[in-house]
Structure 1
Amino acid sequence: MATQKLYAGAKLRELRARLGLTQRIFADKLGVSLPYLNQMENNHRPVSAAVVLALAQEFGLDVTELTVGEGERLVSDMREALADPVFAKSAPPLADLRLAASNAPALARAFLDLHRAYRQSHERLASLDEALGRDDAGLRASPWEEVRDFFHYCDNYVDAIDRAAEHFITAAGAGKDVLITAAEALRKRGVDVQFSDNGPLRHFDGSARRLELSARAAAPTQRFQMLYQVALQTQNELLEATLDLARFTTPEARDIAKIGLANYFAGAALMPYRAFLDAAQKTRHDLERLADIFGASIEQVAHRLSTLQRPGAKGIPFFFVRVDQAGTITKRHSATRLQFARFGGACPLWNAHRAFETPGHFLRQLAETPDGVRYLCLSRDVSKPGGAFLAPVRRYAISLGCEITHAASLVYSDGLDLKGRFEPIGISCRICERKDCHQRSVPPLERRLRVDPDTRGLLPYDIAD
């Protein structure tokens, strides 16, 4: 198989701008001519192995940043947007999308913003009464979508907050219980911590300086919620500075993002980066053992594994998603080439949907996407009881996965035939190119159809080559 050429012009320009170097000085440091650098920065030539080596030696660049990142996400998001029927006769080929993502990422993001505005306009027209009754019916991303995209495009890793959380825990001393450390930090700021049998999961009374936590919540949840409050009390300036840099367009988006950043701090403090990465490698990413070591839940561990993207100390690139019983994705992040649909549900062939059938058990799946990339996928149901008889139980399925090249580093690969059969999965039917999928719901965007009224196969139509 031929080696795929590496085009990373946008990354090279970004690095040079960050260093404040001219093209000539940058070219000299990389050991290439000025015209050659100019061609690489404009994606007219691929980045050579010698340049990759020079980037690592001269500037300490983690070369994995050149291969997986914003470009893959932009291509996936544009393909999903172009699956809209409005583009049925004018959708550009995949090669053009990749060029746009690598050469003109700002234009690609502007296109996504425009399509999102179109979708919202269409949805508002479909519910005219609501649209006419609103004073703020401008076309903009919902606050929830804006925050989701913020974490999506920062690779689900926020360095300053991650390091602050790690410092908070390590400064308390090795072996000290996280719950005690958090409670002491809050007491130093005049916050009294109490546990209640009848209250909500967490309630903070600012005037009384009192934090109430549910005594019925599981211990990992209590630790996480207390650390969330620690973030708001001890790291407020850092959270606000991060929000300033993000430049959210609405106060609502900023408020939601602040909750997200405080949650990020809580997860990073419960599972500090270096200790967690070391334990993950030693246990071969055994989620149950990691949950026991750090006093966390299975979902918290899986989510944390997907954030191990610190430059110079990266963990395995994982994807992490959470789906509800209707198949709707409620959390998603991918540091792999597999990018999940921004809207709607996930591929029905994916084993996450079967996790509800076997509660309390991990399901393993060897899967292959239409682009030929193979993955080891791990899924399990997660139940969140209400804590009382007749209280509603929330049920989700979580899934964690990595490319098959990393499978040996996971305990879940033991006993699997990694050279055997891989189940075909996709992202969204409209951008999935498989012709013979028995679960296809709508035709693919980029293929013509042949309809024969006298013949019926798996589908009521044939997909042309």
Structure 2
Amino acid sequence: MMRKVYAGVALRELRMNKALTQKEFAARLGVSLSYLNQMENNHRPVSAAVILALASEFQFDIGTLDVGEADRMVADMREALADPMFGEVTVPLADLSLTASNAPALARAFLALHRQHRETQDRLGTLDEQLSTERGGTGLAPLPWEEVRDFFHYCDNYIDPLDRAAERFAEHTAPGTSLAAMRDWLDDALGVSITLSAAHPVRRYDPQTRTLALNTMSDPATQRFQIAHQIAILAHADLLDATLDLARFRSDEARQIARIGLANYFAGAALLPYGSFLRAAQEVRHDLELLSHRFGASLEQVAHRLSTLQRSGAKGVPFFFVRVDQAGTITKRHSATRLQFARFGGACPLWNVHQAFETPGRFLRQLAETPDGVRYLCLARDVSKPGGSFDAPVRRYAIGLGCEVSHAGQLTYADGLDAEAGPFEPIGVSCRICERVGCHQRSVPPLERPLRVDPNERGLLPYRIV
């Protein structure tokens, strides 16, 4: 079933950029003035005929009519409104959808205000704990990380100029052929030599000697990634700065963190070039292990790259990607689907990504359904990272990758599953905004639903959700 597309903001912006009146714009689209007015105010969806007219009359990229950003803002606003500070305030989902579609700037301002409130509360809570326990150190959360995370989140985790620059680099230098080829390019093009030693950190660059030190215990995929990261820093500094200038971060700390993130983005895009990687992914039906072997990348790098294939006119399967630690805390997240992740706390305990730690080395498959009725094929696998010696700590993570079941046929992992009939596991985003009544893993009640507490009765929970 095709989703209805409401794109009032995009229509108004296009009309104003072309300096057209509503009457002139309606005539060129072949619709009545009243119909255009209804579309611009999101009272009616954009019809197929209008979409075709936009493409033919104005060469408008219809791929930009994707409502993914509005969905993300709705999910973020729902979670923000679940904050106890709002008490019994209940905002209908329809109102949130209208705000995200008609007034996205207002929605972003609300989210920024709520985020600032949460940051202030976290600071006060930390300070109170420090004063009561008389411990040293600040312990304050590195707030710029949140700002950088939101930057990538609302860019759909796809930075077109950087992605295309990385693809050109891969085409002209063929760095993916071997680690030696990348080392030679770095030396020939930039005059940077590489040293390997178990005493080195993962990566350290000395600008005085123009030497890049890598840890010999790192696997080849990690070493290649770190070389590509350094190439981004040295050879594409102007492009990184231009992107950072557009982002307008509030602090220098956020800007520097984002620079590292953008260099990492370039590295992933260089090792897994968009066009060739997309074709290979389609050819092997998104088999992560085959892609990992073909491109010499880790499973995490491959899974994350699949979630970024959102280039206009050449989009891949829209995936969500997430990485969690053993405590269930989300350490990386991105979604090109309607599934959104909790901005605070962990993921739904019914999601198979938590079970991946129990079955190391195996892919887990799950058919799941969110409270909004959307169904997904979810994959999960542990990606533990050994420390390199007997007494070194092992970093344990699990990754989750998935898509809506309408795309499941393009994945080898769907073979043998009935993506139409299920059964589907009921999952959610977080307990505070999940409306499921009978969930046996619920930790806290939903803030948008009234409760009934009966001291004479106990079911799955000590209360009933009305």
Question: TM (normalized to structure 1)?
Answer: 0.94
What corresponds to 2:415 in structure 1?
Answer: 414
Q: CA deviation at 1:140?
A: 12
Q: How far apart are the structure 2 equivalents of 1:178 and 1:54? A: 49
SS in structure 1 opposite 2:396?
strand
State which drifts further: 321-330 or 58-67: 58-67
SS in structure 1 opposite 2:383?
strand
Q: CA deviation at 1:147?
A: 0.4
Q: CA deviation at 1:294?
A: 0.6
What corresponds to 1:39 in structure 2?
Answer: 38
Q: How far apart are the structure 1 equivalents of 2:68 and 2:443? A: 30
What corresponds to 1:446 in structure 2?
Answer: 448
Q: How far apart are the structure 2 equivalents of 1:233 and 1:422? A: 48
Closer, same or farther in 2 for the Cα pair 1:98/1:164, shift >3 Å?
same
Q: How far apart are the structure 1 equivalents of 2:174 and 2:393? A: 40
Q: CA-to-partner distance for each residue in 1:344-374, whole Å, 9 max, x for gaps? A: 1000000000000000000000000001000
Q: CA deviation at 1:92?
A: 1.1
Q: How far apart are the structure 2 equivalents of 1:457 and 1:265? A: 52
CA-atom RMSD in angstroms: 2.3
Q: How far apart are the structure 2 equivalents of 1:347 and 1:53? A: 40
Q: CA deviation at 1:117?
A: 1.6
Q: Is the 8 A contact 1:324 1:396 kept in 2?
A: yes
Q: How far apart are the structure 1 equivalents of 2:130 and 2:22? A: 51
Q: CA-to-partner distance for each residue in 1:158-215, whole Å, 9 max, x for gaps? A: 0000000000110125984365145413432221112112110111001111001111
What corresponds to 1:211 in structure 2?
Answer: 212
State which drifts further: 58-67 or 404-413: 58-67
Q: Is the 8 A contact 1:186 1:233 kept in 2?
A: no
Closer, same or farther in 2 for the Cα pair 1:103/1:223, shift >3 Å?
same
Q: Is the 8 A contact 1:199 1:213 kept in 2?
A: yes
What corresponds to 1:112 in structure 2?
Answer: 111
What corresponds to 2:151 in structure 1?
Answer: 150
Q: How far apart are the structure 2 equivalents of 1:320 and 1:399? A: 6
What corresponds to 2:261 in structure 1?
Answer: 260
State which drifts further: 107-116 or 45-54: 45-54
State which drifts further: 99-108 or 23-32: 23-32
Q: How far apart are the structure 1 equivalents of 2:460 and 2:411? A: 36
What corresponds to 1:225 in structure 2?
Answer: 226
State which drifts further: 47-56 or 263-272: 47-56
Q: How far apart are the structure 1 equivalents of 2:321 and 2:75? A: 16
Q: Is the 8 A contact 1:117 1:140 kept in 2?
A: no
What corresponds to 2:9 in structure 1?
Answer: 10
What corresponds to 1:428 in structure 2?
Answer: 430
Unaligned segments of structure 1, at least 5 residues: none
Q: CA-to-partner distance for each residue in 1:34-64, whole Å, 9 max, x for gaps? A: 4422321111222112112223444455545
- The amino acid that maps onto 2:375 is R
Counting only pairs closer than 5 Å after superposition, residues 9-408 of structure 1 correspond to structure 2 as 9-16=8-15, 23-61=22-60, 63-128=62-127, 142-173=143-174, 176-177=177-178, 179-181=180-182, 183-408=184-409
Q: Is the 8 A contact 2:29 2:50 kept in 1?
A: yes
Q: CA-to-partner distance for each residue in 1:43-98, whole Å, 9 max, x for gaps? A: 12221121122234444555454243210110000011111111121131111111
Q: Is the 8 A contact 2:179 2:220 kept in 1?
A: no
Q: How far apart are the structure 2 equivalents of 1:231 and 1:124? A: 35
Q: How far apart are the structure 2 equivalents of 1:147 and 1:306? A: 18
Q: Is the 8 A contact 1:116 1:141 kept in 2?
A: no
Closer, same or farther in 2 for the Cα pair 1:290/1:455, shift >3 Å?
same
Closer, same or farther in 2 for the Cα pair 1:48/1:216, shift >3 Å?
same
Q: How far apart are the structure 2 equivalents of 1:191 and 1:59? A: 48
Q: CA-to-partner distance for each residue in 1:2-22, whole Å, 9 max, x for gaps? A: x65432212323444566655
Q: Is the 8 A contact 1:162 1:273 kept in 2?
A: yes
Q: How far apart are the structure 2 equivalents of 1:90 and 1:175? A: 54
Q: How far apart are the structure 1 equivalents of 2:447 and 2:96? A: 14
SS in structure 1 opposite 2:50?
helix
Closer, same or farther in 2 for the Cα pair 1:450/1:121, shift >3 Å?
same
Q: How far apart are the structure 1 equivalents of 2:321 and 2:447? A: 26
Q: How far apart are the structure 2 equivalents of 1:60 and 1:32? A: 18
Q: How far apart are the structure 1 equivalents of 2:317 and 2:364? A: 20
- The amino acid that maps onto 1:264 is Y
SS in structure 2 opposite 1:212?
strand
Length, aligned pairs only: 459
- The amino acid that maps onto 1:275 is S
Q: Is the 8 A contact 2:183 2:193 kept in 1?
A: no
- The amino acid that maps onto 1:226 is I
Q: How far apart are the structure 2 equivalents of 1:388 and 1:448? A: 54
- The amino acid that maps onto 2:119 is Q
- The amino acid that maps onto 1:8 is A
Q: How far apart are the structure 1 equivalents of 2:145 and 2:285? A: 35
Q: CA-to-partner distance for each residue in 1:125-175, whole Å, 9 max, x for gaps? A: 223369999xxx9x9992100100000000000000000000011012598
Q: Is the 8 A contact 1:113 1:141 kept in 2?
A: no
Closer, same or farther in 2 for the Cα pair 1:86/1:42, shift >3 Å?
same
Closer, same or farther in 2 for the Cα pair 1:153/1:19, shift >3 Å?
farther
Q: Is the 8 A contact 1:182 1:230 kept in 2?
A: no
Question: TM (normalized to structure 2)?
Answer: 0.93
- The amino acid that maps onto 2:250 is T
Q: How far apart are the structure 2 equivalents of 1:442 and 1:246? A: 36
The percent of aligned pairs where both chains have the same amino acid is 68
Q: Is the 8 A contact 2:186 2:193 kept in 1?
A: no
Q: How far apart are the structure 1 equivalents of 2:76 and 2:284? A: 35
State which drifts further: 114-123 or 363-372: 114-123
- The amino acid that maps onto 1:93 is P
